[in-house]
Amino acid sequence: VYMDKDLGDGSTLRSRALKAIDDTRFVPAAGQNRIRAMIEERPDWVLSRQRAWGVPIAVFADADGNVLKDEAVNQRIMDAFEQEGADAWFAADAKERFLGNHDASKWKQVMDILDVWFDSGSTHAFTLEDRPDLKWPADVYLEGSDQHRGWFHSSLLESCGTRGRAPYDTVVTHGFTMDEDGRKMSKSLGNTVVPQDVIKQSGADILRLWVVTTDYWEDQRLGKNVLQTNIDAYRKLRNTIRWMLGTLAHDDGEEVPLEKMPELERLMLHRLAELDEVVRSGYDAFEFKRITRMLLDFMVVELSAFYFDIRKDALYCDAPSSLKRKASVQVVRHLFDCLVKWLAPMLPFTMEEAWLERHPDAVSVHLDQFPQIPADWKNEALAEKWRQVRQVRRVVTGALEIARAQKVIGSSLEAVPVVTINDAALEAAISDVDMAEMAITSDLVIAHGEAPAGAFAIDDVKGVAVVVEKAEDRGLLKCARSWR
């Protein structure tokens, strides 16, 4: 196969391949330069191999090396291959059978086989083009980084030669798996990790979570400690979903209009709108780590440690008819639907289990589309206000943690934080917010002037200082029902 021979349209195989590289997306982008350099410098491709087995080239040649070009002969060969397989070429009567009326003594049956890389480079033709449920070219080719010289390379040349373009729209490459010390895995070193053992002990989604939380295009380390980190993250994720399922057991499907929702619920919907953009762009760019990092942080920090913690009182104690409780259940419903569907491509077994628990009559979560987020969920002004509210809350919770560590209080509900604020913007932000509810305390007092000596403060939140007082010292009695 000549790389620089005119193909009849002014192009060469090399020029077609180089153009195809420019028209293909590579993940990571460095893969484009790597394969381009190889195509620019590569020699002509000798397809024949002298081996005892393989796919025959299936041509006849005369004494001068000229190939027989006869459509009837080629059709007989193709029909035989389709019905009997390529071994038909090696049958004892193959020469006479395929040549038909041609003088067999004048033609030599070529017994060379095709380079196996030509075999692999041709896979797009017989896996995609004859399947009405699939399309050509492929959306993605995925393999290890060594395949820029292998499968990606041979597929590019074969397809550019026969179809004028690459057989793929995108090429994604991954690195290789090392042990926790960065060494190549081998049985002699005893440092191998057997996937089936991990799956048997922890489930397949643990391995999948490990992959999507790495920079997979680089070589990655894997071992007990790495797996344990992913197991811990998975448990937090699973517990968050279980909590939502428990809450939604009491969901009657009632909808609260957006304008009537409390601000905290509207903030969560705004965050879903923001995350939707990250998830969609992340999947489109094959940046799974960006998606998982954002979603895991959201579930652990913003849901479990913030929103769910604050709303437990309303969910557990408020009347089913209360606006706050109905809005909260509705938001949890949206949170569940979005998170389960967003995570389903990466953690298919866990998300399928969760989805069917909530929707037992459904066929599969994997047959659903990502949720369409209403445009009016996005509210930048509200988000900025609550960024300031959470700054104040962060100082309060920091003071509560110290008071708890010093045994001044046990639960945060035993406390009444006295918050001195000397920042007009922060004070305006919290002016209509029940900060005792946000901090999960029995009460919260706003003070002005100089902060008392010893008040707790955080360097990056200027103008806020907190002193924690005990609720009982202020004459507050604990409610036996709500513990407030």
Which CATH number characterizes residue 469's domain? 3.30.2320.20
- 219 part of a folded domain: no
Q: Please indicate, yes or no, whether residues 18 and 162 belong to a single structural domain of this protein.
A: yes
pLDDT in the model for residue 297: 97
Q: Please indicate, yes or no, whether residues 462 and 354 belong to a single structural domain of this protein.
A: no
Domain limits at 97?
Answer: 48-114
Q: Please indicate, yes or no, whether residues 246 and 360 belong to a single structural domain of this protein.
A: yes
Distances (CA, A) of 82 to 74, 79, 87, 133, 466: 12, 5, 11, 22, 81
Q: Please indicate, yes or no, whether residues 246 and 144 belong to a single structural domain of this protein.
A: no
pLDDT digits (tens, 9 = 90+) for 298-350: 999 999 999 999 999 999 999 999 999 999 999 999 999 999 999 999 999 99
Q: Please indicate, yes or no, whether residues 253 and 361 belong to a single structural domain of this protein.
A: yes
Token duo for residue 467: 């002193």
- 403 part of a folded domain: yes
Question: pLDDT truncated to tens, each residue of the chain (484 aa)?
Answer: 999 999 999 999 999 999 999 999 999 999 999 999 999 999 999 999 998 889 999 999 999 999 999 999 999 999 999 999 999 999 999 999 999 999 999 999 999 999 999 999 999 998 999 899 999 999 999 999 999 999 999 999 999 999 999 999 999 999 999 998 889 988 888 888 889 999 999 999 999 999 999 999 999 999 999 999 999 999 999 999 999 999 999 899 999 999 999 999 999 999 999 999 999 999 999 999 999 999 999 999 999 999 999 999 999 999 999 999 999 999 999 999 999 999 999 999 999 999 999 999 999 999 999 999 999 999 999 999 999 999 999 999 999 999 999 999 999 999 999 999 999 999 999 999 999 999 999 999 999 889 899 999 999 999 999 999 998 877 676 665 555 5
pLDDT in the model for residue 190: 83
pLDDT in the model for residue 479: 64
Measured distance CA(298)–CA(271) in Å, rounded: 9
- 200 part of a folded domain: no
- 183 part of a folded domain: no
Domain count within the chain: 4
pLDDT digits (tens, 9 = 90+) for 196-211: 999 999 999 999 999 9
- 320 part of a folded domain: yes
- 479 part of a folded domain: no
- 188 part of a folded domain: no
pLDDT in the model for residue 160: 97
Q: Please indicate, yes or no, whether residues 369 and 239 belong to a single structural domain of this protein.
A: yes
Q: Please indicate, yes or no, whether residues 426 and 437 belong to a single structural domain of this protein.
A: yes
Q: Please indicate, yes or no, whether residues 77 and 132 belong to a single structural domain of this protein.
A: no
Q: Considering 355, 377, 399, which residue would you say is the last residue of a domain?
A: 377
Cis peptide before 262 (omega within 30 of 0): no
Q: Please indicate, yes or no, whether residues 88 and 124 belong to a single structural domain of this protein.
A: no
Measured distance CA(91)–CA(112) in Å, rounded: 15
Q: Please indicate, yes or no, whether residues 52 and 79 belong to a single structural domain of this protein.
A: yes
Q: How many CA atoms lie within 13 A of 83 on its CB side?
A: 6
Q: Considering 75, 99, 114, which residue would you say is the last residue of a domain?
A: 114
Q: Please indicate, yes or no, whether residues 270 and 128 belong to a single structural domain of this protein.
A: no
pLDDT in the model for residue 478: 67
CA angle 294, 299, 303 (to 5 degrees): 130
Q: Please indicate, yes or no, whether residues 21 and 128 belong to a single structural domain of this protein.
A: yes
- 196 part of a folded domain: no
